[in-house]
Each structure stands twice: as C-alpha cells, then as structure tokens.
Structure 1
Amino acid sequence: MLTRRGLLQRGLLLGGASTGLGSLLQLGLVRHAAAQGAASDYRALVCVLLAGGNDSFNMLVPWDTSTYAGYANMRSDLALPRSTLRPLAGTDATGRAYAVHPGMPGLQRLFNDGDAALINNVGALVAPLDSAAIAAGNWPTPLGLFSHADQIQQWQTAVSDARIAQGWGGRIADLMQGASPANGLAMNISLSGNNVFQSGSATTPYSITTDDQGAKSLNGYTEDSPGGRFTRAVVDDLLASSQQQLLRREYGNRFADALATQQAVSSALSGAQPLTTGFAADPFGQAMRQIARMISVRDQFGSSRQTFFVTVGGWDHHDGLLENQAAMLPMIDAGLLAFRDALAELGALPMVTTFTTSDFARTLTSNGKGSDHGWGGQHIVMGGAVNGGQFYGDYPDIHPDNPLDVGRGVYVPTTATDLYFAELARWFGVDDSDLTEVLPNLERFYSIGSGAPLGFMLGG
C-alpha cells in the first residue's frame, strides 16, 4: 500500500525534484511575472543550433567553374565532387552561383521557391574588421575564439567581449512580457532544455518534449491508477493548505500555476488538429513537428510572440566529415522542408521565421580526416516573411592569399552575428529604440534607424 511517507520517500512530492519539476516551476515564474495585454498579431522565431561547429563550406559550395576550382583546390580531400552538388537559382551580388550539399534537396527547393535565404560568412565579432587591420595584426578577437564553450555562448548572447548569462532571445522576452499573457505560456519554449539564448533577467524558457503530451507533469500526478490518484490527492491537499511562511506560500502558488498550465498544454496538444504533413522519426524531425503543433494551438494561450529553440549536436567533425555530413545534413534538410510544409498547411508560414546558428564554421583545409575549428560561416533563414531565393553577406574568395584568411582557411567574418540577429529582432517586433537592450554591441556595426541591417526579412 502506498502511504504518504512512501510517496515522500519516492520523491513524488514537492521536495523530490521530480521529472518536469524544473520546467513546471519555470513556467510558473513566467506566468506569475507576465503582464496582461498581448498584441493581436502573431510571430515566432525558431532557433536551430547545430552544436559543435557545422562545416558550412560544404553545405553551401561555389558552383561556377572558376570559384569551384578554388574551393576544390583548398579543400583537397574534403571537396565535394561538383557533379553531385545541387545548384541554386540566381547569383549573389558579384554574379557568382552556388550549390548546396547533395544531401539537401529540400534546401534547394526552399531556396528556389523563395522561402529560404542564405547568409554568408557570419560570425562573432568584437568590432568590424577589414583586410588592412588584419594585415597589421592589431585587431580584437572574441573571447575564447575557437572554443566551443565560448563561441556557442556568444552566438546565444550576441556579446563577444564578455561572458554573460542572458541570451538575446531572453532579453527580447524581458522586453515583451505583455506579448505572453499571464494566463498563457512562457514566450520562450525549448525542445532542448535550459539554454542561454532564451534566458533573460526576468524570464526563463519552458521545456517541452516531443511526445504527444508535450509537457512533463509531476511523476504520477496524472496517472489513472491507485498510486496516481493518491499522488494527486496528496499534492492537491498540500497546495490547498494555508502556508504562513512567505517563501512556502509563493512556491506553492507558482507550483499550482505551473501544474495547471502543464495540464493546459497537454490538453491543447491532445486536441490539436492532426497534421497531414509527415515528419521523419529522427529527433530533429520530431522536434520540428512538435513546434508546428505548438504553433497550431497558439490561440488557446493568447500567444502573440513565441520563440522556439532546438539543438542538434554532433557537428564537431575533426574526422569523418564527409561521412557524418552525408548522414546529418539530410536530417536537417528533411526537418526544415517538412516544417515549411506544415506551416503552410496551418496558414502560419508568413508568421514564423526559422534560422540556424552554430559555434563556428571550420577550416577550409583538411587535417587529413576532417576539418578543425574555424570562424565565419554560412547560415539558413527560412519562412514566408523571408526575402528568399537570395544570398546575403559576402561568401569569401576561397584561395590561399585571401587577406581574410588567418590561417588554414579560417575566414574572418564579414557579417557580424549582431547584424544577423538585429534583422530577426526587428521583424519580431523589437523597436529600434530597444535594439541595444537586446543586442548591446549592435551600434559597433550598424547605425540604428538607417534601415534593414541586412535586408533578408520582408518588412524587417
């Protein structure tokens, strides 16, 4: 027989830090702090982190004959055969053509359909750099350049000269708490647990899973069994009891809010209209499916602004680069294409923008097995509000004498992450007057009020 003492010993009550408790309390915190009165329009940002450092010079490859020859010469055994590449329509501002990895037919289609753009040579910078400064050897570098821990954090914080705990998505949520009503979800929702990108000073991400329920409850609380009913009765009794101590009372209020919202999330998802768009069974495909499902029930929570975050790890290919990318890039490709199609099915494609991030790109030169840590690289932006079918930023000239090459084909970024993120933040609804609250170093690269930072968002 399950007793109250046994329940406590099993860690199923408040002191037990049970499955889902962290997310439940985070959700309660945000609900408790959120202001009433959401905007009527809906927009969402979906951040896809390719953790480990994606070799994006094999994701987007020069296509015209002369520039491909430079690529093939520098990449040597890492070069993809030109005959296997998937060419993209159009050219960049210099008239050069490009192609994508052979395992990315979906990206080829998205780009040619105008639903995706490619942003070239993006990376963390402390200040703008040109070839003269690089040649002089007198230029600042981001903290911990080439370090996974530092660079992955800087892509999430948009601060490259200090180590801070708040991400730019979290700072947006701090500004826009009113866009996530007090009777609704947190603005920032993660498929990959706690993360820096969505963490603010007053807001935290709420974690969901890819199963049909979506939100984890207190262990045993929702089970239709003798033990589950007992757990529910004891927890409800504790939450209903009067607490004289302030901290206990506040904890109980937040926990009760969190339990209620978890049940609301699960109820909403269980009643969501099934998607006809199919998703792959791999973790990324299922994460993107769940994001689409959450977007489909947004009206039940009064959400007008949301961010979603998903991490796909395993991109640190010091060896086995060609084989690993041949397996992993198609997974990303299929997930993005299915997500686009699902959003179109939901009528939400113009409202949602998906973008990739990664620690860094990689060396153009081979180490004999793979590539090593680099700097600037290429990224994907996708959505109905994207000015797609175009290239933004400058794809570097791939040759050994390029002054941007600081060794082994490591290219200094010509587009700062600050500009990349500013374009997204403006589209999301951040006022120009608030941009430096979100992106503290932005004015080193951009004159606020001068128009679109890069131009890849329609109306951004």
Structure 2
Amino acid sequence: MSDSENDDIWRMDETQDLPPTASEGTSTGVSGGSGLDRRKFLELAGGFGAAGVLAGALGPKLWESFFHSPVKSASQLKSTSPSKPVVRKRPLVLVTLYGGNDGLNTVIPYQSSIYASARGSLAIDSAKVIPLNNGYGLHPSMTGFKKLWDSKQLAIVQGVGFANPNYSHFESMDIWQSGVVGNPVSTGWLGRWLDATNSSPLSAVSIGPTMPTLLTGEKVQGAAIPPGTLVLPGDSTEQLLYSALAQLSSGQPHLLAEAAAASHNLIQLSIQMGSTLSSTASSDPLHLKDANPSSLTANGGAALAIANGGGGQSASNVLATQLSIVANLILAGATPQVYSVELGGFDTHVGQMPTQEKLLGELDVAVTAFVDAMANTPDGNGIVVMIYTEFGRRVSVNSSQGTDHGWANDVFIVGPAVTGGFYGEPCDLGRLQLGNLVFTTDFRTVYATMFDKILGVDPKPFLMGSFDTFKMV
C-alpha cells in the first residue's frame, strides 16, 4: 500500500463533493422512461440486500442513465476541504469461544487429587500437561501458549464469572456480551462505548456472519465482515458513485432510510478497507503458508492448510482465517480499534477429549501465529487479545465421557503489551456448589481493565458500576 493510500485510510471524516440527492431536486429518471429513480434503486437495495447491490450490480454507465450526466473522476468527486487524521490507538481483539470451553482441562490443576478423582478417564495425564507454576499447567495441545507464557505475554485470570449463574448458553453469553447481570439489556459492553464516544461503526469490526451483542449500541453498532463472502467495489470512482446512492434523503420512510444507512456503512467499509480485504485471501500475514503442516498440528489437532490456488484462503482453522483478516487490516493502518472473532464447538457433553484437543490446538496455532506476526510491527506491538467463553464445565466427568454446563472459568489475555502471569484467585476444588466451580473474580473486572488500559476511558458508565482493574497491561 502506498503512503498516500495509507493516509486516506486514516482520514475518517473526509467528505466528498457528491451529486445532489433526489431531495435536492435532481432528475433521476432512467432514459427510455423506465421510471427507475434513486428512491426505487434504494428500495431494490433494501430488498435484495445492500451487499448484493454493492457486489457489482451497478456500474458507472448505469450511473449516467440515473443522473443524465457523465461520470466524474474520483479526484473530481473528492472534496478539497482539509481532513483530520485519526490518531492510531492500541488494538483490542476479542476471541469468543462459543459452547462453554472446559477451563478445568485447559488450565489444569494437575497436581490435585480432587481433579484426578472427579475427572477419572477425562483427566489429562499429568505427564502430558505443560507445566506453568503454582500447580497449574496447560492442555498438551497449547505449546504455543507455553511460549507466550515464557515470554511474559500470556496472562491468565482465574475463577472468572458472575453471581447467580445458570446453565443456559444464551443467557450466559448475553450476560458476558452485555456486561450486565440481573437486568437484561439490548446493548453490549462495547456497544455502549461506541454510543458514548459517538464512534464510527468502523471503530469496531466483527469478522463473522453476524453482529455480536457486545458490539451493539443503541445508536451505533460495529461493522460485520463475513470472511470470504463480501465483495466490495474496488475502483475509487465506483466507490464514490455508490456512496452517493447510499446517502439519506429527507422524507424517506424508516425502513428505506435504514437501507440507505446500511448501504452507506458498507461503502465506508469499502473505502476504508476494501483493498485490504480483497488482498487478504491471497496474502499470508501470519506466515503460515510455507510452514510445515506437522508443526501446526498439536497432538492430533487439525493442521492449518493455506490453499495456494483459486485465489482464496481455505483453512480448516477458521479462527486463523479470521485473524489473518484482522492482521491485514491492522498492518494496512485501518481504523478499527476493536476486533471480534470467534471459534465454536466447545459444548462437549459427549466424547470431550478429542474434540477439545482439536479446538484448543486450533486456538493455540491461530493466536500464537497472530501475536508473533504482529509483535514486531509498529501497529501490532501494542495489541491485546482477550479470550473468553460463556461458562465453564462441571467438575465431574459425565457418563458420556464429556462434561456438562458449569460456572466459573479462566480468561486469557495475550499480547506483547501484556504483563504475563496469573491474576485473580483460583477456584477451590474443595468448595464446590452443586458440583460447580464458584467464581472468585467478577468478569467485569476484566472488562474494566480493558476499558481503562486499552481504550483509555473510565469504565464506570459502560459497566454501570465500579470494578477493580488488573495491572496487566
């Protein structure tokens, strides 16, 4: 990317001299009397989906028939008014492990006789556990995390949870993502930050098919990028033409206005990140393409395969694919400060051992490669990765060689800027409630730390209360 392109990416409030909207009296009939005006176009955009329209259904020639005027060059459409550069901030990457990862077999109290007895055949062999300290060790598939631990880049917050837990995936994840206990709300803990800071939707990006609650505010929500499926217009002139069509006009019906706003957000995404997103499929920011597949396989975990042909990245490790997009965006100087990625499949009621081994191996490979790739870059050396799940698992193994829904768990905080080690208090295996680990650290303490140390804001308004912070960043 050239210096001039990089400068453009960092100018969030750049304006353009765009053709007048329909509300300003522009004639917008298509020649030949088809009667397709800008309003009807936006109705079609809402009906077929903004992404489909943006994927190439409209081009400069059709623009001329809309507005009866030749297409201007991008330089003619851009405003000559000065723009304000955006200050670069430390990136925060959230990794959500859906399903409820078994923390007791992830950060393992391998010297505990209570653990060995309760887990039976599901207990990890102490000879295979990767030792840390204080009688705890990592799952054997997490060799990369051990290297991060040794380099003081891995913090483990123990005993994280909340009061009055339940066993519901949906309710527990809603509590984690909203940051509110007891009174359900529709906004996320970072969505409220977006609202309060009047942030652009591009301040927080989810790499996935849906927008998680954690990035949803009342007025602002983040942008969602489905990996490998969204095609955005790449030509700068075409981007500006689409942007004109996506501008709001006075008097538009509510749903039509929302369609226009969605189109506008996608266009802004295209202008800010389009070239980076389109290059992600063929690039390998995590430097995994030439790696020995066996070195990426941890005890039978799925090896990461980066396809060389077809112009795309085909990986059994879906988390690595998402983090590759994040890495490319950060390295390109894109504007988001918060990124959300996810890995599912952790609801291990049956046959847990091979399933968790595979998933933790994928997590280990993806996160370790991401942190290593970013550590020596100007925009990546301050990055912080937070890894959490909706709840832990019961202490005792069930009859299907799995574990059932439980309570407290651990949270990983990873990155070059992190002061590694254990934080919080470990759960007491001798003091269970209903067979569950009882939390010792309120999850909002972790969030308060992210607000204070990473986002640089007072956590109280967003967490609706005061919580301690850890000195880990």
Q: TM-score, normalising length from structure 1?
A: 0.73
* Alpha-carbon distance in 2 for matches of 1:323, 1:240: 49
Q: Which residue of 2 aligns with 1:117?
A: 155
Cα pair 1:124 1:151 within 8 Å, conserved: no
Question: Is 1:101 equivalent to 2:139 in the alignment?
Answer: yes
Identity over aligned pairs, percent: 24
> Residue 84 in 1 paired to residue 115 in 2?
no
Partner residue, 1:245: 251
Asked if the contact 2:54/2:242 (under 8 Å) is kept, the reply is no
Q: Which amino acid aligns with 2:218?
A: S
Q: Is 2:285 the counterpart of 1:275?
A: yes
Give, in whole Å, the separation in 1 of the partners of 2:191 and 2:369. 27
Q: How does 1:191-230 map to 2 (within 5 A)?
A: 191-192=207-208, 193-211=210-228, 215-217=230-232
Partner of 1:129: none
* Matches for 1:439-454 after TM superposition, within 5 Å: 439-440=463-464, 442-443=465-466, 445-446=467-468, 453-454=469-470
CA gap of 1:340–1:10, structure 2 versus 1, over 3 A, is same
In the other structure, the counterpart of 1:289 is 324
Please give the secondary structure, in 2, of the residue aligned with 1:73.
Answer: helix
Aligned AA (2:264): D
Matches within 5 A, 1:40-439: 40-63=87-110, 65=111, 67=112, 69-88=113-132, 91=133, 96-125=134-163, 141-142=164-165, 145-177=166-198, 180=200, 186-192=202-208, 193-211=210-228, 215-217=230-232, 239=245, 245-247=251-253, 254=261, 257-264=264-271, 265-270=273-278, 275=285, 277-278=287-288, 280=304, 281=315, 282-298=317-333, 301=334, 303=335, 306-369=337-400, 370-388=402-420, 390-399=421-430, 402=431, 405-408=432-435, 410-432=436-458, 435-439=459-463
Shift of 1:222: 7.2
Deviations 1:369-406 (A, max 9, x none): 21111111112110122111x1011112323xx2xx11
Residue 75 of structure 1 deviates from its aligned partner by 1.4
Quickly say closer, same or farther: Cα 1:333–1:255, change in 2 above 3 A. closer
Task: Please give the alpha-carbon distance, in whole angstroms, between the structure 2 residues aligned to 1:284 and 1:236.
Answer: 32
**CA-to-aligned-CA distance 1:163-220 (integer Å, 9 cap, x gap):** 1111111112223335x5xxxx611100122110011122112111333xx8544xxx
Deviations 1:327-361 (A, max 9, x none): 11100000110110121243334321111121100
Distance across 1 between alignment mates of 2:54 and 2:193: 20
Looking at both structures, which has the greater relative contact order when contacts are Cα pairs under 8 Å and sequence separation is at least 6? Answer: 1
| 2:243–2:264 Cα contact (<8 Å) kept | no
Q: CA RMSD in A?
A: 3.6
Contact 2:394 2:406 in 1 (8 A): yes
Q: What are structure 2's unaligned runs of at least 5 residues?
A: 1-31, 56-82, 290-303, 305-314
Please give the alpha-carbon distance, in whole angstroms, between the structure 1 residues aligned to 2:54 and 2:463: 27
Q: Runs (4+) of structure 1 moved beyond 4 Å?
A: 3-6, 8-12, 21-24, 36-39, 235-238, 240-244, 247-253, 270-274
Change (3 A) 1:379 1:176: same
TM-score after normalising by structure 2: 0.71
Deviations 1:96-120 (A, max 9, x none): 2321001110111111111111110
Quickly say closer, same or farther: Cα 1:18–1:257, change in 2 above 3 A: closer
Question: Match for 2:285: what amino acid?
Answer: L
Distance (Å, rounded) in 2 between the aligned partners of 1:162 and 1:267: 42
Segments of 5+ residues of structure 1 without an aligned counterpart are 25-35, 126-140, 224-231, 447-452
